[in-house]
Structure 1
Amino acid sequence: MKKKILSLLLVLTLVFATFAACGKAESKSDDKEGKTYKVAYIARAQSDSFAAWLANEMKAAAKEYKDIDLEVFDGQADDEKENAAIENAISNGFDAIIVQPNNGEAQRPYVEQVVDAGIIAITTNARIDGIKGASSVDADPYLQAKVNAEQAIKQVPQNGRVVVLKGPSGNFHADERLKAWKEVFFKARPDVKIVGEDFANWNKDEAMQLMEDWVTSQGKIDAIISMNDNMAAGALEVVKDNPDYKNILSYGVDGTAEACLLIEQGKMTSTCLQSAIDLAKLNMETVHKLLTGEEKQIDTNIEEVLITKDNASQYVKMYRERGLITE
């Protein structure tokens, strides 16, 4: 009888031990499934219209993922401040850091620090090539400028006089867009003369100052060739009430709400959409795949879409629906 009781107690002990082990295993699984990933997004500058749009879309896209907690930091178009933000994100234990570079080469060693710390690193708008262990989500800046340049070949008048507004020196997007204009447009149109060319660093105010100088010193200008919409809009602001520039052509990149309105109104010629909506969604999809281990390395691009007077209204409508145009 004692032997039977001891045997029964032993069986029950084993059963309870098994349940306890299962409970612990299930608890570990639940912990993993319930993990929230901390993601830092280091924005180039909230004063830049496209960068601000992208930061807002990043927040919206992150809300679609219950396991992602996104924090946005403003680099203020300053390399030292952006680099400090990256270092702070590393020390604060973020699981992933997405960097929108102000100047790719200036941010390169700090993104390398992210990788060395064992943190998932993504560069976006513009990517920084050649960092082993870092992923990227971007657009093809050469193609973005190319679709505009192909239009300009037919639109800029013979012996036209143009000004060129450049993005930051060393920035991948700025350099590749300018390269496309040189190889596609200026090579096909050797008759065109550049009467003004300078860096406006994506900034509207800097573009306005340059345009004011060029209008004074050069007089006739047939076209504004800009590496982004913000600078193009700034240059157009300078000549908007001057009848001598009523038919000036203007080209940009980004497809911002302001640019689409200007195109719809016949004040700007064309732009290439760099959809912050698509870019943000692709960034969140990419970082989630990397965080969950579904992928180890991802380098991907969104598509480029030309916006002209023919289709600008559909994008103006899109911006109104998203509350980015309220008038």
Structure 2
Amino acid sequence: MKKWLAVFLVATLIMSMLAGCTSPATNEEGTGEPEESGDKVYRVAYVARAQADSFAAWLANAVKEEADKYDNIVVDIFDGQASDSTQNALIENAITSKYDAIIIQPNNGEAQRPYAEKAVAAGIITITTNARIDGIQGASSVDADPYEQAKVNAVVALEQIPQNANVVVLKGPPGNFHADARRDSWQKEFFDKRPDVKIVGEEIANWNKDEAMNYMETWVQANSKIDAIIAMNDNMAAGALEVIKDDSRFSEILAYGVDGTAEAVLLIEEGVMTSTSLQSAYALASALLDTSNKLLTGVETQIDIDIDCPLINKDNVTEYIEMHKRAGAIR
């Protein structure tokens, strides 16, 4: 009797071990999904720049929604909190966790470069986006052309901003490809052609609305005349406009941004903001998931693409309001 009992216990233990070996795998966030019917389910880490940044939040949400369309891809989203050290730690963790792909939206491209290179060296598919990090052998990218994004605004501003105007400039973080290229574009396409225009305030507001508000409060105290706000993104433009919304001295002020966020298009509709250029998070997300799928499944080995950047102003803003309504960003 004891012999049969021992055999039964050994058989039970072996069956338990086999069951454990075939149980569904999960990633560190607990959101991984099992392989079903022999089909590979790929784990993708999306490392966002900062969820407090309106565009970064828009893009992260769009990526999450787009991923739902793919049965073979699971995306985990991580918040870099506008911190290089936080982002770099998240990338390293994704490498250690052996994700199949890592998508990086850099806070500062050069600071994230060594960690993106580590991901490539580890054999992980690596994609940089908004802004791409150029020159990483083996990495792909999905982005927009920041020089053109600023240029479409600067070209119309040549005629819109009055002679001998006073303007303020709000910049993104130094070293960020988009921040630097947009400012360079404004310089070449506007300021070099309009030497009469005076910059009475220029600061780095790190894409941040609150920082932009703080700088604008200082500028309006020092200048009774400001004719235009030139911001390298919509979030900073909206922050500056918030400061002066009830100040009659600036009722005719012009304001330019980049991104085409829901907030920006509503401000354009109200006649508060002048124009922006679209950097569609929906288009980026669609391209990111399509690119990820092609790279993960071996259809392509290298992909580098840019999305379009049309100008949004009072003449066509309704089209983009409807775009945001369809996506649920405007109700």
- CA gap 1:206/1:31 in 2 versus in 1, 3 angstroms: closer
Tell me if 1:182 matches 2:183. no
Tell me if 1:252 matches 2:257. yes
Task: Look up the match of 2:328.
Answer: 323
CA distance in 2, matches of 1:61, 1:321: 14
Larger radius of gyration: 1
Tell me if 1:150 matches 2:155. yes
Task: Look up the match of 1:203.
Answer: 208
CA distance in 2, matches of 1:33, 1:305: 43
What secondary structure is seen at the aligned counterpart in 2 of 1:277? Answer: helix
The alpha carbon displacement at 1:78 in A equals: 0.7
CA distance in 2, matches of 1:293, 1:124: 20
The alpha carbon displacement at 1:64 in A equals: 1.3
1:277-307 alpha-carbon deviations (Å, 9 max, x no partner): 0000000000111111111111100011100
The alpha carbon displacement at 1:65 in A equals: 1.1
The one of 245, 251, 270 aligned to 2:275: 270
Q: TM-score, normalised by structure 2?
A: 0.88
Question: For residues 31-42 of structure 1, what are the structure 2 equivalents within 5 Å?
Answer: 34-42=39-47
Q: Which 5+ residue runs of structure 2 have no aligned equivalent?
A: 1-34
Off by >2 Å, runs of 4+ in structure 1: 30-33
CA distance in 1, matches of 2:310, 2:196: 28
Q: TM-score, normalised by structure 1?
A: 0.89
Q: In structure 1, give the amino acid aligned to 2:71.
A: K
Task: Look up the match of 1:193.
Answer: 198
What secondary structure is seen at the aligned counterpart in 2 of 1:138? Answer: strand
Task: Look up the match of 1:117.
Answer: 122
Q: In structure 2, give the amino acid aligned to 1:150.
A: V
The one of 62, 67, 72 aligned to 1:62: 67
Q: In structure 2, give the amino acid aligned to 1:231.
A: M
What secondary structure is seen at the aligned counterpart in 2 of 1:127? Answer: coil
The alpha carbon displacement at 1:325 in A equals: 1.7
Task: Look up the match of 1:19.
Answer: none
CA distance in 1, matches of 2:323, 2:137: 38
Is this contact kept in 1: 2:224–2:249, CA < 8 A? no
The alpha carbon displacement at 1:321 in A equals: 2.6
CA RMSD of aligned residues (A): 1.2
1:1-27 alpha-carbon deviations (Å, 9 max, x no partner): xxxxxxxxxxxxxxxxxxxxxxxxxxx
1:201-249 alpha-carbon deviations (Å, 9 max, x no partner): 0000000000000000122100000000000000000000001100000
What secondary structure is seen at the aligned counterpart in 2 of 1:269? Answer: coil
Task: Look up the match of 1:139.
Answer: 144
